[in-house]
Amino acid sequence: MTRTVAARSFKVSNSSIADLQNLATALSVPLLTLQKTLTLPKSERYRRDELPKSDGGLRIIYNPSHEIRLVQRRVNTRIFSNSHILAWPPFLFGSIPKSRDALGNEVTRDYITCAAQHCGAKSILKLDVKDFFDNVHSDLVYGVFNKLLKFPHLVAASLTNICTLDSHLIQGALTSSFLANLCLHDVEAFVVDRLAKKNLVYTRFVDDITISSKVAKYDFSYAQAIIEEMLISKDLPLNSQKTKVSHASSTPLTVHGLRVSFSKPRLPSDEVGRIRAAVRNIEKIADERSYRMTHAYRHDFNRCMGRVNKLARVEHNQHRPLLKRLLKLPPLPSKKDISRAIQIVSRLERDFYLKKNTYWYSRRFYIAYERLNVLKISYPRMTKLLKLRLKKLKPVYE
């Protein structure tokens, strides 16, 4: 029983948020702003966008209004990411605050750390919750705020109001991933404990559930049955088309695109080859100096840099050589970049006192720093002067 209690999500703080005034204070928003957000018509809460999916379908994304975004972001930083308020279990990954291991080292709860839990596996079961956000009903969201965080009804209902649309979670709401991870808070740890007694490892990366065994050709029928039972108890359907069992003898075992048949996660060899090819492509197109001044090159360079840095996360020996090659070819600034940077810094100076605690000011501030990092290659003196001005304009946004 001790292991199960230690593994589940639980509230750390003994304090609570008694009413809307306390909630407004906890989130550092005026009570009138909070009340206005709660009464916003549905049509004014989000802007609906459609994005193409790789399978040819459409992904519906909702962009929150300024008021909804402000409150949701504060809920994330003040509650979900606050280690003094909430403790997260070790089997959840993706949109989880960083934690520390037994030695005090910081641990990132991303897909690579998730895959690492299954290293050495010889059999793997993968399950996927169908249309996860759409199926996380507001009753489950209310349970997170009321049962897990122990907020009284009015506060829990108000936060549920702000974090859902049409009685369920939605893509685009800033709080959705946190709430999706917490919606099984009262049942999941018991399932993890039952599986651990069978020497099975369980992880969930938002809607992707992975169970692994170090036994070759393991029969996962028991594991799948109790997971389905857990999901059904919350009215969450499985996507049967994505249920998959893999055994080491038949195919290289992967979790979230990483090979896990070793002591540490590894990228598939073909992925490493594609990263090398991406670096070669940057070297090829960088021959034209004027192209290095374009936004298109900057986009390609940053994307390639992200892929190369992935090699560092899995401690691949090609990371340093490829990074060295890439760093020789950074994007170059144009004269237009200088005038844009001066304009951005001047506008930040104009808006500092009135807007320094807003999300959009914070976003503009860090965009300015990114632009200056490009400028310093060709215009070091101008960059130094602008950074001195920018240093006085740091946002105080949370």
pLDDT of 324: 95
Q: What is the mean pLDDT of residues 313-331?
A: 92
pLDDT digits (tens, 9 = 90+) for 256-285: 999 998 899 999 888 999 999 999 999 999
Full-model pTM: 0.83
pLDDT of 97: 82
Helix axes 153-163, 66-75, angle to 10 degrees: 120
pLDDT of 317: 92
Band of residue 397 on the pLDDT scale cut at 50, 70, 90: low
Band of residue 7 on the pLDDT scale cut at 50, 70, 90: low
pLDDT of 15: 83
**Would you say residue 167 has pLDDT above 60?**
yes
Least confident of 86-95, 212-221, 243-252: 243-252
Band of residue 211 on the pLDDT scale cut at 50, 70, 90: very high
C-alpha distances (whole Å) from 78 to each of 71, 83, 220, 369 are: 10, 9, 40, 26
Q: What is the mean pLDDT of residues 62-71?
A: 92
Helix axes 66-75, 31-38, angle to 10 degrees: 110
**What does pLDDT average to over the chain?**
89
Please name which of 24, 25, 27, 23 lies closest in space to residue 397, comparing C-alpha atoms: 27
Band of residue 1 on the pLDDT scale cut at 50, 70, 90: very low
3-state secondary structure 118-152: CCCCCEEEEEEECCHHHHCEHHHHHHHHHHHCCCC
* Cα 318 from Cα 224, distance rounded (Å): 39
Higher pLDDT, 354 or 80: 80
Q: What is the mean pLDDT of residues 93-102?
A: 77
pLDDT digits (tens, 9 = 90+) for 339-384: 888 899 999 999 988 888 777 788 888 888 888 887 887 788 888 8
